[in-house]
Structure 1
Amino acid sequence: MLELTGITKAYGGRRVLDDITFTVGDGRMTGFVGGNGAGKTTTMRIILGVLASDGGAVTLNGTPITAADRRRIGYMPEERGLYPKMKVLEQIVYFGRLHGWNAEGARRNAVELLERLGLEERMDDTLESLSLGNQQRAQIATSLVHRPELLVLDEPFSGLDPIAVQTVQQVLADAAADGAPVLFSSHQLDIVERLCDDLVIIAGGTIRAAGSRDALQTEFGGAVYEIEVGGDIGWLREQAGIHVLDFDGGRARFEADTDAARGAAVARAAAGGDLLRFGREHTTLAQIFTEVIR
């Protein structure tokens, strides 16, 4: 488990990170979201040791993270950092060897990854000859070629078309399924919501919310409910303590003054024998994000 505790960072007297505290669990996909300048990249660079924090601690499995630990991290920066004149396969192998793999093992890993990422026909092409989306796939391969025990990815889905997004999602999900903690940032909230197990929301250098996706949807979601019955649900408008937002035939969205009022409405629908569906309205990550940083 990766854990950040009380991380602070300031530049010229301006604090850009203030008491950053969150965890990334083994086998968990953690989405790290925030606006431009919120502190995501600075936090990631501190995890990697590229920047030093002014205070706080980064630990891996309960002990301070070391240079040896960081060699086992797969990192992808937001800015592309590959060699444009170098062939794709050659440089993926090169990065694998930098992390300690021998030539044969690094090549085997690189070929497998490039095939999974849909670049098998471009292995012998130079990076600069690839589209921006394919360059992004190659960069993702460099972060995975040494089979890291932890992944830290800054905007891994940037520039990818929908098919490529699905491919990369599966590759990252497989890494998590093998037990690796995965921390990734993205401005594409729909992808984060679909892929992540946990969320960390940062704004102005502070953590505004952190926890499992389901827990945050419950905590920050509005108390709007959806109900569907087999007949007409017009009676719900006359139900005490219920405020119908909209309805169409047997479907309705409503708010309730109290849990008792909500329960009475559901009980009435069930007593009629035609209750088909009832639940809290789904709250999107975009709605949670907007509410949290407001």
Structure 2
Amino acid sequence: MNSFHKRQLVVSLLFIFYVSLFSYYSIVDHVVQPNDTLYSISSKYDVSISTILDWNSNISPKNLKVGQILKIPQPDGFVYEVEKGDTLTYIAKLFFTSVEDIMKSNKLSNTNVYVGQKLFIPTSIIGKGFNKEKDIIWPVYGTISSSYGWRVHPITGEYSLHKGVDLSSPQGAPVFAAESGKVVFTGENGGYGLMIEIESGDTNYIYGHLSKISVYEGQYVRKGQLIARVGNTGLSTGPHLHFEVKKADKLYDPLVFLPSSNRIYVLDNRENIYGIGGK
């Protein structure tokens, strides 16, 4: 082995050592094979189907094409890119987790973050901050921008029934299933924009104005599972989630079923360790 190849070997070994020492997740390129399904791929890599769909927005859930390359995170999880004004506390609230868990998952020595920084949020740490005092959980962390009831529509100017509650949250913020159930609709639906409807017994939950859908019709989802991303599609004045509750085809005010609106995020006494901060 000549000196050039020796140097190459040393550099390669150092790179492998660096990656193993400092990386906290990896991305596998999976090439779709004949007879592959989302279920078989999710089982192979031990990730949820919704994770695969969230990472690969260009695929058709029920029509995978042989030769397609899918990005699969290892372990199961999502990447969040820090935006201006973000704090680690705010990011933790978006994913209903703790600051400590994000720090451990990303090997951070302090809570400082910078714009453009990519943080890995493992699925295993998501949901610790869900308020479970009621049967359903808040599907997104945000503030109520419009309540259920009659109002003058901000775009059409018509006096009409606002069928749900609007939660203002940043574009791309994660949306979680408020309750377990079967996905009965996904796609464009007029003023709702990109929409998901999930059936749970005699109750249906509607999620509107999405930017990305990470489930497919017929899929069973569990409470707290990531199903979509906040958007501004349809008749919308800004990024937010429109959330509806129907029981036996009758509309109800979602706030009747949701936990207290001033306790959307609950992480016992640890939620204030690093201060509130954030947007």
Bucket of the pairwise TM-score, normalised by the shorter protein: under 0.3
Which of 1 and 2 has higher RCO (CA within 8 Å, sep 6+)?
Answer: 1
TM-score by length of 1: 0.23
- Richer in helix (by share): 1
